[in-house]
Structure 1
């Protein structure tokens, strides 16, 4: 339900869809993220917002570090920026493809674009920065290609990474980017042996680094090497010569394909090679290069950016108290609304022919749909990026309310609105408009504050959230608590003789599913804190409504008994 950027941007996906509809010529990956560096996003920063102190960094689901982020081209917060591949990135998988300037401490590219913060958190957990995770992946991939995974002389470059992180990174690379590590290690061993036989001893190389001199000896052919070898010509030399010939042919094909790609790009159309690249990238989970945007779209993206160069220095109290104060006021107003609201007569309603519950819930759904539609308008990106996302790094108090009407993805909006309609109409009919609206707004505001507090107190400032999930959870929990011992069926399931699921069991299952997300390493960007806070608020509201109904029944019973008593005779004067 609520999307959360642990570590950059639900906005990315929303803006990507928006840009896709607004500009068919290209598919920009845009972010409502505010990134703190001109390189890979990390906790270090480099820009400041035009609008001043409470700028909005967004981080996935509105986050400053989106999935498969782009090194050196990440958005500067709090604005929106489109990321493109400025030049072709070669992903080497064979020892023969090592670039001449390869060194272990820099590694090799493992994807068209490095991982984003949300992917890093899902893969490694929260105890490693996005930049460090991508550095580790580059180094390990370079070692897989260079055949130095087992070389102790290069371990110094990864000594500051934990063994668990190294194991996770290596498993990830082996799953997503197949490399014949054994063959590469064997070729490196042959290369070093040839260098030793030549009497060079690897002196031209940095210790532990496969330099260009020894590697380029492979191009001389087996004959030249066998003449220098103290062992003479062998079957191994013949096999090696055949492999070198195959790789030289492959390199020639790659160069020819690269030339054709450049020609296709110059014509501004996706040729067969680019189409094949995109299909291969989708199959392997790698990002493909994107064509540049139109000048008009570039202008929209530029206006969505701010000048924030670094994360503002703020205490935890300064980040929390404005939002906490607003939520406290909103909660108080909701309590008053639930207690004193008097519904208008039918003639005084705006839509007298529509049932009050349908009108109220329908208006909330319409407001959320409008918020979703605004994300599709490039003109609105800057406003939405600043005022409709809850961001831990530089929060705005108003987003505690506006964030619950903000959705960037269709799959995020629809489930929320379906659940709101199913439970909202029933809760409205049972407790009235005032109590229903109080539940919706109090649950949404407290859920936003819960997310913000969790992020700030946990020093997870690269986190943001948006969506109506907290409010929807509150409405659903309030209704299910009032009917916690009633049985419910979903599309006729479970089948007879079962009576269905009890309301209490449904709430327990929903809570367990959310808590279970905390212990998974999947790619979920679910805002569990918002969900659980909204759920708790709804339970509290349902309990209060239950007590109020019981008190009203007692008062009504007492009034009925009083009415049934015989009236005293009037005293004559």
Structure 2
């Protein structure tokens, strides 16, 4: 139906295509049509039988681009022509230069837009007679030639297209017509696609845009949040001024936040660090509120270790998980594996939040379970290796856990009581100290030496277990003197571990002595002893 209507509209005007107009004369078809009418009557061209009498035609002519913006050879000069040149063009000196330039620009706009058959603005037709307008048009055709017929045909195409679109839209609104793409004027998925635009593609594009918008917002929030983060740290530092001395550089010398688009790996690590850092205000916690929960966990741990040591019975050989490994070696392997696993977790940024809660002891942010979890936690390979090396030779599982928990809590309690709340500690050093101390007590009467030195030196460099333990403790005490402090270690945890190991060693020896008296050797029983 639409094609038939278009052909019907075009039929009366097909003679325009065969018309050819010299550019230097006013013998154009439009000029001939305009001369038919008196100057007092607005012209009506035969071309207007198409659609120029409709509102669409007038709107199209108003929307047509001006000659100053089309950028072709027919463009009218941007500057106004001087008065002498205006007088020469129109053949009269009485015509104002402003009006002359206005006439020329209006005529040129009509030439470019293909609307020469339409009347000029009323302010021009009232002020200028027809011969003045014809003179201006003749000058434009001579100085700025262009294909006026092509402009007219382009205008006709625009008007026809607008009329056709209006009819199609009206038919679509009435339900008489439905395009294959779903809606008139909607874009297709690709050129030549008869099925139109896919709804799934539209939803996917919408989701992608929304995702990009969300990512950009998160990126900006991340970059803008650095100042807010520093303000939070400064506020915490102000609350702790009476407890811990802060230097301003500690809050400002941190690496600036990386842009996720430029350095995604560094930005991801920094984001995990921020998530893992607690911002809870713990300054109002009392000393009892910091100590009692951890003390309860330590008491429970010591009780469980005692029950385990008293009630443990070794499983049968075929019931063991690693039957080909000695029981002591299997136990130590499990403990070393736990320490190594936590060490690897410290290298995985998403785990920092969990580790900062339960595997590092911070008096300012106390978590009761951390007094046990920190015993299995190391951040440096050197720290892990040295502790596990000692444990492998002298370790016992119940002593390791109980001594470690007691040593960690002792250090934690001293930090709280001395108002040193911002010092953190982790590692198995306290547990290792307890294991070493107990081993030395159990071998207090034996001569101990260093295994990897030459044999002739071992006779000279040897001491009893108790002497060896006293030398170790003396070396730890020297660390309280700044001149002898070479490493940052938790001295209180070490000393508490040694104390726990000594007590456990003495209790163990006393228990063995009671068992020996209760069950004397068989040769003593034969004498009635």
Do structure 1's residue 530 and structure 2's residue 493 form an aligned pair? yes
Aligned residue in 2 for 1:501: 463
Higher gyration radius (CA): 2
Q: CA deviation at 1:563?
A: 6.7
CA distance in 2, matches of 1:307, 1:40: 10
**Structure 1 counterpart SS, 2:356:** helix
Do structure 1's residue 547 and structure 2's residue 510 form an aligned pair? yes
Q: CA deviation at 1:311?
A: 3.5
Given that 2:230 and 2:251 are in contact with CA atoms closer than 8 Å, whether structure 1 keeps it comes out as no
Aligned residue in 1 for 2:408: 448
CA 1:382–1:333 in structure 2 vs 1: closer, same or farther (change >3 Å)?
Answer: same
Match 1:84 to one of 245, 255, 273: 255
**Structure 2 counterpart SS, 1:492:** coil
Alignment of 1:441-520 (within 5 A): 441-490=401-450, 491-492=452-453, 495=457, 497-498=459-460, 500-520=462-482
CA offsets 1:24-63 (integer angstroms, 9 cap, x no match): xxxxxxxxxx9995349846369xxxxxxxxxxxx9xxxx
Deviates more, 1:518-527 or 1:346-355: 518-527
CA 1:318–1:45 in structure 2 vs 1: closer, same or farther (change >3 Å)?
Answer: same
**Structure 2 counterpart SS, 1:390:** coil
Match 1:318 to one of 266, 277, 289: 289
Given that 2:295 and 2:409 are in contact with CA atoms closer than 8 Å, whether structure 1 keeps it comes out as yes
Do structure 1's residue 439 and structure 2's residue 399 form an aligned pair? yes
Aligned residue in 2 for 1:408: 379
Given that 2:360 and 2:425 are in contact with CA atoms closer than 8 Å, whether structure 1 keeps it comes out as yes
CA 1:303–1:546 in structure 2 vs 1: closer, same or farther (change >3 Å)?
Answer: same
CA 1:40–1:514 in structure 2 vs 1: closer, same or farther (change >3 Å)?
Answer: farther
Given that 2:440 and 2:465 are in contact with CA atoms closer than 8 Å, whether structure 1 keeps it comes out as yes
CA distance in 2, matches of 1:502, 1:562: 33
CA 1:560–1:329 in structure 2 vs 1: closer, same or farther (change >3 Å)?
Answer: farther
How many residues are treated as equivalent by the alignment? 292
Unaligned ranges ≥5, structure 1: 1-33, 47-58, 75-82, 87-267, 269-290, 425-435, 566-573
Do structure 1's residue 391 and structure 2's residue 362 form an aligned pair? yes
CA distance in 2, matches of 1:340, 1:496: 39
CA offsets 1:431-459 (integer angstroms, 9 cap, x no match): xxxxx322111101100110111001111
| TM-score for both structures, normalised by structure 1 | 0.47
Unaligned ranges ≥5, structure 2: 1-228
**Structure 2 counterpart SS, 1:525:** coil
CA distance in 1, matches of 2:238, 2:304: 38
Alignment of 1:324-403 (within 5 A): 324-403=295-374
CA offsets 1:498-545 (integer angstroms, 9 cap, x no match): 261321122111111111111215463210111011111111111111
Q: CA deviation at 1:472?
A: 0.9
CA distance in 2, matches of 1:470, 1:403: 10
CA distance in 2, matches of 1:532, 1:69: 33
**Structure 2 counterpart SS, 1:444:** helix
- The structure with more helix, counted as a fraction of residues: 2
CA distance in 2, matches of 1:473, 1:84: 37
Given that 1:403 and 1:466 are in contact with CA atoms closer than 8 Å, whether structure 2 keeps it comes out as yes
Given that 1:45 and 1:311 are in contact with CA atoms closer than 8 Å, whether structure 2 keeps it comes out as no
Aligned residue in 2 for 1:298: 270
Match 2:239 to one of 44, 48, 72: 44
Aligned residue in 2 for 1:73: 252
